[in-house]
Every structure is written in structure tokens, then in C-alpha cells.
A and B are shown apart, each in its own frame.
Chain A
Amino acid sequence: MRIRKRLRLVAALLSIVAFTVIAGCGLKPGIAQLYAPGGTGYGAQGALPGQPAVPGQSGTFAGAPGGTELDALPGSTASGQQYGTAGTGGTTAAARGSGSGGQAAGPTAQAVAGPADTTGVTESTIKIGLHAPVTGAAAFPQRSFERAVGVYASYINSRGGINGRNLKVLFRDDGFDPNKARAVCKDLALQQKVFLIIGGAGSDQIDSCARYANSVGVPYISAGVHETRPGLGPLSALSTYYAASLTYEQQSPLLSRLVTQQFSGQKIGLMVASNDSLDNYFAVQQESLERAIGDNLEFAERVPKTIQSEAPTIAAQICNSGVEAVVWNGAPSGLINVSKSMTCDVRFLGPGNTNGINIVATGGCPQLDNAQFFSGFPQLDKINQLDPAFEPAYRKENDGADPDDIGIAMWGIEKLISQMLAAGGKDLSRQSFMAALDSGQTFSNNVYPPVNFGQSRFGGTGMHLLRADCSQRQFITERLNVK
């Protein structure tokens, strides 16, 4: 009996191995772990109980009083959500405070955050966090993120760091789930005590985490996504949120112009996914297109969030309408599914947002040939001209691995953040950092189009235009800095 059981165990193990081999053959083998996604900090993570107060910090930036931001914080807590308890300004004392005291102390603790908040900053390091989906429904390649995150940090650290401090980037997987995104952001903000958080990809996750970061006073920076969401209000109302590229709404005039330039007099359709975060974009884009091309806007419709068995119906709808081009904002995989059932030739255009857009190119060719999307970062064909340091640094950090577009995106955002951190001054604090952003200084780094938060929290000034080139199976950079 026992021997048979042993045999069964052996057989089970063998089958595991067999499955692995079958599923894994021919796919790229894993390289050694260079960047542990788990971060370092279980256990004695420096718990800085007494934050060194830097008096007069915000005074160095005229016209950027820390008070305006801090006023907004109690305001957000007063609206009925008692977030203050979860941790205020990242001080351990508040998070671990006794249960009864925590609640009452919430709003007040926010107001007391007058002294400079230097969470995540020590004499020698600045620790920042980044989240992106590498598991879940619409995940990005985990290896790509693993390789990409921290490349610029190593590069800048080897050149003396940011005002003498080394940059350290912690990466967390948000599982393409807004709920988990909030959990990992809480971890980054309150347990790992990072200085700021970057939203890597996924608009719902960015939305969820940005709102959480605001509730605990952590600066949050992401590529531009939607501007507002029904029931939750605009992202620009968040006092710590900064969009480092154009939002979808801001891209709509660019798209309309592109449409009039390329398809004047021809019929155009608009299809937007039925996510409620895109309600506003849909209205804005429809209005903008109607103004630009009038009756040539043949249809403007919402499509399901995930397009699976509906794909043939949508494809038939597009082809029956006789449009020349479709402005599309929805899941890339849905677009490919639709394009596979098309009987006609239609060009797709859209606002760009996501990293790893080359997944679309490799998956969507040949149907998506010449599709045009805006993007916050250039593609592999232009990056060496724009920033010659990228490729050598990437290869050095990753044992010679070929760079991909996620690498460029992460390089660009880390570079941008480094510039912003440097602008935050030698006595870096969250107040001085945000004051530097709000001061209207333009950050230009050759990867992302210039960014300026003087006017609003949506600080992008332009986008790069990408075009799918199916002969190369990747997106190429057609025009830089479209405004």
C-alpha cells in the first residue's frame, strides 16, 4: 500500500516536471534574479520614529506655500472617509497608535504635518515605490519589469546620485486589481515608507492607488490616464497626484487634429470601452470629433470592457458602417480580437497610455498595420538618438539583455522623477518636492515630452505619435512631441 502511494507521489512529481517542460519549452529561460521584487524590508525596516523636522523648509520656494496642500488634506478627510487613521504622513507612531486614539487623531494629525515630511529620505538614500500589474487579467511581462525597474536608479547612483543621495526603487505587483493595488500602495507607503509612489500601468490601479496615496499624503506620479471618475471625483482634486503625460481628455484634440489631417472628408467611427472612468473621455472626444469633422463622425459607441465572443459582431458593425478609420480607446487585446474578425481594411487610432505597447504590435499584426497611438515615451527606434545613455545602462544592468519598450518607459519615468527629486533641493521633503513641482518649473528629459505642473496636476505638454509597423513587428516613433 505504502509503496503504491510512493509511486503515486513520484508519478505526480514527474507529471509536474512534464507539464513544466511542455509548457516551458521554447520560451525564454529565466535569467538570474537581479532585482528581487519582494524588496528588502521584512523585519527591522528603519522605522524612523521622530522625523527630523526641517523648519522653514517650504520657505525656500516662494509662492508655493505648503499650507495650501495641507489644507486640502483635512478637507478630504472631512468628507466622511476616515482615512487619517490608517497612517498619517507615514509616521509609525500614528499607524501604531492605540485604537481609540487613532480615529479621533486622524484629521488633526494631518493638520499637524506642518514640519517637513522626510519619510523615505535619509542622509544617503531616497526610497521610492512603483507598482504595475505583472500577474492578473491583463498583465505585463514580469521579466520586462524586473529588468526595467531600477536601471536608471543604478545609472544615476553610479554618477553620484541625486544631491548626494542614492535612489532606490521598490517594485510591487498589483495583479491588475484595484483592490490589490491599494494594498500594495499601503505597503509601500506605510510599511516600506517610501518617499513617493509611481503608478506604472493600468488606469484603474492608478486611480485606486492615487486616491489612497492622497489620503496618506504620499506624492503619487503616473502617466496620464482618465481625469475623473463618476462618484469619486476628479483626480486633479487630489493634493498629491501628478500626471506626467497628457490625460486621455487632453489627448482628444490631438486625435481630432490627426483625424482631420489624415482622413479629411472620410467617415470616422469612435469606440470607447464601457469603463465608467472613460465616460468623461467619451463625451469629450465625441464633442471634439464632431467639431472637427461634423457629420463624418459615422458612429460613436461604447463597447464592452473585455471583448471576447462579441468580437465578430463589433467587427461586422465597423465594416458595415463603411468607416475609413476608428478612434479606439479600450483594452488592446479586445482591439486585436476585433481586428481578427474584420472583413474590411480600417485604420485604428487612439490615445496612448500603456507600457508594453509592443505586445499589441506582435499580437495584432497584420490587421493592425499602420495603427497610430499616442505615447508618453518613444520606441526603440528613436531612444538611442534621444538618450544615448539608455541602452548601455540597460544592457549593463541586465547582463546584455535586449531592451524593450517597458524598459524605455521605466527609464523615462525614473529619470523624470530623479529630476523632480533633484529640484526638491538638498533638504528634500515631501513639501519641498511638491512645491518644486507646483512652482511651474519645466522638466524635460528627452524621453518623456516636457512636463510642467504650473497650470494643473495634469502636467503633460505633448505626446509622441507611434505607428504600428508590421514588417518590423513593433511600433515605430512617427513624430515626437505632438502638441
Chain B
Amino acid sequence: MTEPQTAEIPKTESEAESTRELPPVVADQLDDEVAPFRPGVAGWLARGAVWALLAWVVFAIPGNVLSPFHLGVSDVGHASKAAIFAIIGLSLNVLIGYAGTISLGHQAFVGVGGFVSAYVVVDMGLEFWLAVPIAAAVGGLQAALLGAVSLRLTGLYFALVTLAYGVFAEETLFGITAFTGGEGGKNVPRPIGFGDDYSFYYLCLAFLAVVLWADWRLVRTKGGRALQALRENPRVASSYGIDVKAYTLMAFVVSGIFAGIGGALLAQQSTFLVPETFDFELALLFVLMTVVGGLRNRVGVVIGSVIFALLEEGTLVHLLHIDGFLDSTIGLPAEFFGLVVGPFLLLLTLTLYPGGIGQQIAPISHWLRGRKFDLHAGKVTEVEVADVRA
């Protein structure tokens, strides 16, 4: 398996499990032929410059610090939304990428997170900082409940149950006025200190960082390794004593927690929540952005999610100033860009770059981490044979 992450594990293994320090020889062996490469001074400078540029784009531009552009509040709002979508993408990545099962009702998890958070803040009058853990806990709980009942079904049947659950949540759960505030929606105030869109963006970034860290830790725990084993072959894994159902349930719960956090932030981001936002199309969008981003590739998932979040609003088209061009050449108005182009991106990714954006950017990301520039880095010939348990 030419999975990029397996090659990195030895480097940080000692941090995760401090049982015994591994001899460096092992790392060298796993890094195989190109291992001894060390960039020169110019190389380090170039890499540093690119890192600085990236940091500038992520941290400085949205805050209008050291920036030649002027981003208005709704531009920064889109950036916040992109960060939240990245959290949701990572949530789905745990499920599809690590556990090899798919959820087609993820909009329900995000929606429940959002409404719980809104309920805690508005109806119970508690603080946002309390609402997020509660939303996360409820997200985990509903995943545990749904999972406990339905994880004895595997693969496609499980997907069907999540699909039906999504529709059920959309039409029944979110129809409960006392919980959601009715069709007219509910106003959700932002936490003190993060009222304006600029500081709220950094709050979203902070949560994204926490989720990234949690995801990174997850992969390195015993559970993460077990997930990897059972995804490759559940029968072999269970014969080695891995409790397939328990670990899949764990992945489902973690995914639910992440989705709950994403939902809570989404409620705060728009400061207004209506039930009809969380429809089946949103669930498909979540799956789309995760797969296009590249399963099991954190950076790829984040980039994919950001792209789709911006596509959805038509922001990307405006930012690139191609709306007039698209309309005059193929008659595609900017409003329809995401709707039409997104699915084709998905299909092209699946068939040509099964590793998604994560695969496409692998040469650059490897180079940035101090390795040689290799155009064929991170090559995945096809999305791995993961789940054939249906």
C-alpha cells in the first residue's frame, strides 16, 4: 500500500507511545531510496518563504493585516465558513477514510450540533463555550445510538440507513418547533469577544486546529491503527482480535463529535439557523468535498472543503473574476457554477486522481517538509480497496 502516511509514522511514533525509542535505522529504511536527501541553505530559504506565504494567506489576509487587499465582513464570513466546512470534512474523513463506511446523512449530525448549540445559548442562556462541548457530546451520543443500532449492517446498507436518518432528521427532528425555533429560524448570538467576523474567523481557525490535532492523535493511537487494519481487511483484522464493530463505532462517534462542533460553529457563523438548510443536498456536498479532497489526507480534505465551501457561495468565481467569462463563453451564470462544476470535479478526481487533491499537492507538500521535489510523490493508483463488506 503506497499510502503516504505510513511512511511518516516512524518519525513521530516515539511521541505517541513512549514505550521504547525506536532506532533511527528503521526510519531510514522506511523512507527508502530518497531518504538521505537534505536540502541546502537555498532550499531551506525557499521552503521557509513558501511557508511564510502560506501563513500570510491563512492568518494575515483575512484580518486585513499586512495585506494589499481589503476583505469586507462577508468575505471573511466566507472564510469562516470554509474553515467550518474543513472541520466537517475532517469529520467525514474519519468515517469514510479511516473506517471505510459512508454517511449520507451527515447534514443531520451537523444540523443537530447547530440546533443543540443554539438551544443551549438562546433558550438555556448558557455560554457559547459550554454550548460547544454539549453540541459535540450530543453529536457523539446520537452517532453512538444510531451506530449501536445499525452498525451490524455494513457498507452500503449502513449508508442507506444514514440516508434515511438524514431525511428523518430533516423532516421530523428539525420540524419540532420547540427545539429548532420553527421555520422562521432562530437567531444565535456570537460569544463575547468574537462578535465581529474578523475575530470569529480566528476562532474558527482555532477550532480547526484543535480538530486537526485530535484527528492526528486519533490516527496514532491504538484505535487508529486498528481502524487502519480493519479497513484493509475486516476479516483478517478480526482474526487478530480487533473488535471490528467496536472500533467502527468509535470512528462513528468521533465523526459525530467533530460534526457537532462544526454544526455549533456554523450556527454561530451565520448567527441565524433555519431547519431547511440541512437537506440531503448538503449531505452530498459534504461527501463530495471530502472525497475530492482526498481520503486519509488531512491537508487534502481541508483544501477540498475550502474549495467547495467557496464554490457553493459563488465566492470563488467572483474572487477569480471569471464570472463574466464563464457566462459569455458557455452561458454558465456564477450562481450555477458550484452546482455544475462540483460534481464533475468529483468524477474527474475519482477516475483520474483517486487520491484527490491530497495526491495532486503531494509533490509540493513533500517538498515543503524538507524532501526533494518529486512530481510523482504520493501517487495512489486507485482509491484503495477498503470496504467490501456489503
**Which of A16, A95, A103 contacts B344, CB < 8 Å?**
A16
Q: Chain B nearest CB: distance from A301 CB in Å?
A: 18
Q: A177 with B187: in contact, given A38-B314, A183-B270 (CB under 8 Å)?
A: no
Give the distance in Å from the alpha carbon of A102 to the alpha carbon of B191 in the complex.
11
Give the distance in Å from the alpha carbon of A352 to the alpha carbon of B37 in the complex.
73
Give the chain B neighbours of A42 by CB distance below 8 A.
Answer: 75, 318-319
- Which of A79-87, A342-350, A396-404, A455-463 binds B? A79-87
Q: Mark B147-191, 1 if CB is under 8 A from A, else 0.
A: 000000000000000000000000000000100011111010110
A12 touches B (CB below 8 Å): yes
Considering the complex, which residues of chain A in the window 95-142 have a beta carbon less than 8 Å from any beta carbon of chain B? Answer: 95-100, 102-103, 106, 134-135, 142
Give the distance in Å from the alpha carbon of A102 to the alpha carbon of B192 in the complex.
9
- Which of B15-23, B254-262, B323-331 binds A? B323-331
B74 touches A (CB below 8 Å): yes
Give the chain B neighbours of A37 by CB distance below 8 A.
Answer: 323, 333-335
Give the chain B neighbours of A80 by CB distance below 8 A.
Answer: 122, 189
- Which of A186-194, A244-252, A435-443, A472-480 binds B? A186-194
- Which of B214-222, B237-245, B273-281, B360-368 binds A? B273-281
**Which of B270, B318, B327 contacts A179, CB < 8 Å?**
B270
Q: A177 with B276: in contact, given A16-B344, A231-B177, A275-B183 (CB under 8 Å)?
A: yes
Q: A207 with B70: in contact, given A36-B324, A99-B195 (CB under 8 Å)?
A: no
Verify B185–A179 contact, CB threshold 8 A.
yes
A298 touches B (CB below 8 Å): no
A69 touches B (CB below 8 Å): no
Verify A231–B196 contact, CB threshold 8 A.
no
B52 touches A (CB below 8 Å): no
Q: Chain A nearest CB: distance from B72 CB in Å?
A: 3
Q: A12 with B75: in contact, given A208-B272, A212-B272, A277-B183 (CB under 8 Å)?
A: no
Give the chain B neighbours of A187 by CB distance below 8 A.
Answer: 72-74, 77
Q: Chain A nearest CB: distance from B128 CB in Å?
A: 11
Verify B181–A231 contact, CB threshold 8 A.
yes
Chain A residue at smallest Cβ distance from B198? A96
Number of interface residues, chain B, beta carbon within 8 A: 54
A182 touches B (CB below 8 Å): yes
Give the distance in Å from the alpha carbon of A179 to the alpha carbon of B73 in the complex.
16
Verify A204–B331 contact, CB threshold 8 A.
no
Verify B190–A85 contact, CB threshold 8 A.
yes
B347 touches A (CB below 8 Å): yes
Q: Chain A nearest CB: distance from B321 CB in Å?
A: 8
Give the chain A neighbours of B181 by CB distance below 8 A.
Answer: 231
Q: A102 with B185: in contact, given A142-B333, A179-B273 (CB under 8 Å)?
A: no
Give the distance in Å from the alpha carbon of A33 to the alpha carbon of B177 in the complex.
43
Verify A191–B336 contact, CB threshold 8 A.
no
Q: Chain B nearest CB: distance from A307 CB in Å?
A: 14
Verify B193–A190 contact, CB threshold 8 A.
no
Chain B residue at smallest Cβ distance from A97? B196
Verify A45–B198 contact, CB threshold 8 A.
no
A22 touches B (CB below 8 Å): no
Verify B72–A190 contact, CB threshold 8 A.
yes
B9 touches A (CB below 8 Å): no
**Which of A32, A99, A275 contacts B196, CB < 8 Å?**
A99
Verify B333–A146 contact, CB threshold 8 A.
yes
Give the chain A neighbours of B74 by CB distance below 8 A.
Answer: 183, 186-187, 190-191
Q: Chain A nearest CB: distance from B172 CB in Å?
A: 14
Verify A38–B182 contact, CB threshold 8 A.
no
Verify A44–B70 contact, CB threshold 8 A.
yes
Verify A99–B318 contact, CB threshold 8 A.
no
Chain B residue at smallest Cβ distance from A215? B187
Q: Chain A nearest CB: distance from B331 CB in Å?
A: 3
Give the chain B neighbours of A5 by CB distance below 8 A.
Answer: 352
Q: Chain A nearest CB: distance from B385 CB in Å?
A: 19
Give the distance in Å from the alpha carbon of A142 to the alpha carbon of B323 in the complex.
14
Verify B335–A208 contact, CB threshold 8 A.
no
Q: A103 with B193: in contact, given A8-B351, A33-B328, A134-B335 (CB under 8 Å)?
A: yes
A230 touches B (CB below 8 Å): yes
Chain B residue at smallest Cβ distance from A204? B183
B213 touches A (CB below 8 Å): no
Give the chain A neighbours of B73 by CB distance below 8 A.
Answer: 86-87, 95-96, 186-187, 190-191
Chain B residue at smallest Cβ distance from A228? B184
**Which of A16, A99, A173 contacts B199, CB < 8 Å?**
A99
Give the chain A neighbours of B335 by CB distance below 8 A.
Answer: 37, 134-135, 142, 173, 175
Give the distance in Å from the alpha carbon of A96 to the alpha carbon of B272 in the complex.
20
Q: Which of A8, A177, A231, A276 has the most CB of B within 10 A?
A: A231
Q: Mark B71-111, 1 if CB is under 8 A from A, else 0.
A: 01111010000000000000000000000000000000000
B194 touches A (CB below 8 Å): yes
Chain A residue at smallest Cβ distance from B68? A43
**Which of B72, B77, B183, B339 contacts A276, CB < 8 Å?**
B183
A47 touches B (CB below 8 Å): yes
Give the chain B neighbours of A175 by CB distance below 8 A.
Answer: 335
Q: Mark A47-87, 1 if CB is under 8 A from B, else 0.
A: 10000000000000000000000000000000011110111
B309 touches A (CB below 8 Å): no
B271 touches A (CB below 8 Å): yes
B348 touches A (CB below 8 Å): yes
A382 touches B (CB below 8 Å): no
Considering the complex, which residues of chain A in the window 165-189 have a beta carbon less than 8 Å from any beta carbon of chain B? Answer: 173, 175, 177-179, 182-183, 186-187
Verify A82–B195 contact, CB threshold 8 A.
yes
Q: Chain A nearest CB: distance from B294 CB in Å?
A: 18
Verify A191–B314 contact, CB threshold 8 A.
no
Q: Chain B nearest CB: distance from A212 CB in Å?
A: 7
Q: A182 with B189: in contact, given A42-B319, A142-B333 (CB under 8 Å)?
A: no
Verify A179–B272 contact, CB threshold 8 A.
yes
**Which of B70, B189, B318, B323 contacts A81, CB < 8 Å?**
B189
B197 touches A (CB below 8 Å): yes
Verify B184–A229 contact, CB threshold 8 A.
yes
Chain B residue at smallest Cβ distance from A31? B331
Give the chain B neighbours of A44 by CB distance below 8 A.
Answer: 70
Give the distance in Å from the alpha carbon of A32 to the alpha carbon of B317 in the complex.
17
Give the chain B neighbours of A277 by CB distance below 8 A.
Answer: 183-184
Q: Chain B nearest CB: distance from A341 CB in Å?
A: 23
A30 touches B (CB below 8 Å): yes
Give the distance in Å from the alpha carbon of A174 to the alpha carbon of B187 in the complex.
18
Verify B185–A178 contact, CB threshold 8 A.
yes
Give the chain A neighbours of B198 by CB distance below 8 A.
Answer: 96, 99
Give the distance in Å from the alpha carbon of A96 to the alpha carbon of B184 in the complex.
29
Q: Chain B nearest CB: distance from A87 CB in Å?
A: 7
Give the chain A neighbours of B197 by CB distance below 8 A.
Answer: 86, 95
Interface residues of B (CB under 8 A from A): 64, 69-70, 72-75, 77, 122, 177, 181-185, 187, 189-190, 192-199, 270-274, 276-277, 313-314, 317-319, 323-324, 327-328, 330-331, 333-336, 339, 344, 347-348, 351-352
Cβ contacts A to B, 24 pairs, < 8 Å: A5-B352, A37-B333, A41-B72, A42-B75, A81-B187, A83-B189, A85-B195, A95-B73, A97-B196, A99-B193, A99-B198, A100-B192, A102-B196, A106-B195, A142-B333, A178-B274, A179-B276, A190-B73, A191-B72, A191-B73, A204-B184, A211-B187, A229-B182, A231-B177
Known: A16-B344, A30-B327. 8 other contacts (CB 8 A): A42-B75, A44-B70, A45-B70, A85-B195, A99-B198, A183-B270, A212-B272, A276-B183
3 tightest Cβ-Cβ pairs between the two chains A and B? A30-B331, A85-B195, A191-B72
